[in-house]
A and B are shown apart, each in its own frame.
Chain A
Amino acid sequence: MKTTAGSLESSDCLITISDSDALDIKIESVVFKQFGDDILEVITNTLKEHKIDKLKVLCQDKGALDYTIKSRLETAILRRGENNE
């Protein structure tokens, strides 16, 4: 089951997560060359904070700052938990 958070508006990102047997992170961003590594770091750190090591994450970035990416991922994780309850 897929869970989403965020949007494709400017300065935001749309995070889509779904079940996976491993960590599978895909980033689509107009600034991937400049900030791809930073976005990946935010995502991996956020997943570590939430002790998650198996998840498929798609981040469609529209120029979001780090706390926005973290927030959207955390929202998706929260919603996934609520959906599984």
Chain B
Amino acid sequence: MSRSYLFIPGNTPSMIQNLDVFESDSVIIDFEDSVISYDKDAARILINNFLKKFSFKEFDIYIRINDSLNPNFLKDVQATIDLDITGYVLPKAGLEAIEELNKHIDNKLIIPIIESPLALLKAEDIAQSNNVSGLLLGAEDYTKELGINRTLNGTEILYARSYIAIICNAYGIESIDTPYTNKDDEIGLREDSINAKNLGFTAKALIHPNQVDIVNDVFSPSTEEIFQAKRIIKKSEESNKGAFSLDGKMIDLPIIEKAKKVLEKAKKYNL
């Protein structure tokens, strides 16, 4: 369970050596778009040496490898398979790509990036694939394939967002929203994060450390939510009934389960 997934370029020592100060719940070390072809080997060697020297328990580490049709795919996996990482973020994901990755990994999670109309159509099957722990919407490539422009209010990705959030919640996996690409627009980031949360997303991917605080804040339960959740659980334990009334509102199992999730999240993040 993470609220924030921060992308870090895989071949930039100044960023890599500060992984533990960004306070993101998860970091995604990137071997794909932020590393030029010539330096893919350098990134693999740098991360291999870095993660053999240091281990981190305070946050999860994922590696975004190159896609399964890229010649670097297998090299990326082989260079990192023995490292203490939580899993892989798989770009241009489809069922075959996930199957291919699963041939090479053991005890590692997979977060496929849904970044094409076809992947969106297959998202329900992708969500049920082995080792898949969440889906990440990659809106830049998704809209590029649709031949449409991104807008600030995100209307063009509303369907994709809604569909991914529903699927992830249906199958009990993480739903990770696409990054907000304007790293200097804090108001826009907060609004975009709230919109995603209101659609059912559990987390958001980030492209800059400056975005961590806002995203963690938005995807954390509020003080009011925690207070209400505690009251619901307390009343539930006292009443010993499947359904009961609180402040004139009917409380039943789904609301009790939701309250438990809120408290679970609050406990994890010391709220």
Q: A75 to B13, Cβ gap below 8 A?
A: no
Q: A6 to B42, Cβ gap below 8 A?
A: yes
Task: Kindly identify which residue among B13, B41, B49, B50 contacts A78, using a CB–CB cutoff of 8 Å.
Answer: B41
CA distance A33 to B88 in the complex (A): 41
What is the interface size of chain A, counting residues whose CB is below 8 A from a CB of the partner?
Answer: 17
| Interface presence of B268 (CB below 8 A) | no
A65 CB, min distance to chain B CBs, angstroms:
6
Task: Kindly identify which residue among A5, A65, A74, A79 contacts B13, using a CB–CB cutoff of 8 Å.
Answer: A65
Q: Which of B7-58 contact A (CB under 8 A)?
A: 12-14, 17, 41-42, 45-46, 48-50, 52-53
Q: B14 to A5, Cβ gap below 8 A?
A: no
Q: B13 to A64, Cβ gap below 8 A?
A: yes
Given A67-B50, A67-B53, CB of A78 within 8 Å of CB of B45 = yes
Prevailing SS type, chain B contact patch: helix
Query: Which residue in chain B gives the minimum CB-CB distance to A65?
Result: B17
The winner among B13, B41, B45, B53 for most chain A CB atoms within 10 A is: B13
Q: A11 to B41, Cβ gap below 8 A?
A: no
Q: A71 to B14, Cβ gap below 8 A?
A: no
Q: B45 to A12, Cβ gap below 8 A?
A: no
CA distance A72 to B41 in the complex (A): 10
Q: Which of A1-46 contact B (CB under 8 A)?
A: 5-6, 9-12
Task: Kindly identify which residue among A9, A71, A78 contacts B46, using a CB–CB cutoff of 8 Å.
Answer: A71
Q: B45 to A75, Cβ gap below 8 A?
A: yes
Q: B42 to A5, Cβ gap below 8 A?
A: yes
Q: B49 to A67, Cβ gap below 8 A?
A: yes
Q: A12 to B41, Cβ gap below 8 A?
A: no
**Which residues of the partner chain A approach B17 to less than 8 Å between Cβ atoms?**
11, 65, 68
Q: B53 to A71, Cβ gap below 8 A?
A: no
**Which residues of the partner chain A approach B12 to less than 8 Å between Cβ atoms?**
9, 12
CA distance A18 to B112 in the complex (A): 42
Render A37-68 as a binary contact track against B, CB cut-off 8 A, 1 for contact: 00000000000000000000000000011011
CA distance A72 to B13 in the complex (A): 11
Task: Kindly identify which residue among B42, B50, B52 contacts A75, using a CB–CB cutoff of 8 Å.
Answer: B42
B209 CB, min distance to chain A CBs, angstroms:
15
Tell me the A residues contacting B by CB distance below 8 Å.
Answer: 5-6, 9-12, 64-65, 67-68, 70-72, 74-75, 78-79
Q: List 19 A-B contacts (CB under 8 A).
A: A6-B42, A9-B13, A10-B14, A11-B17, A12-B13, A12-B14, A67-B46, A67-B52, A68-B13, A68-B17, A71-B45, A71-B46, A71-B48, A71-B49, A72-B42, A74-B45, A74-B49, A78-B41, A78-B45
A-B CB proximity, top 7 nearest: A11-B14, A67-B49, A71-B46, A75-B42, A11-B13, A68-B13, A71-B45
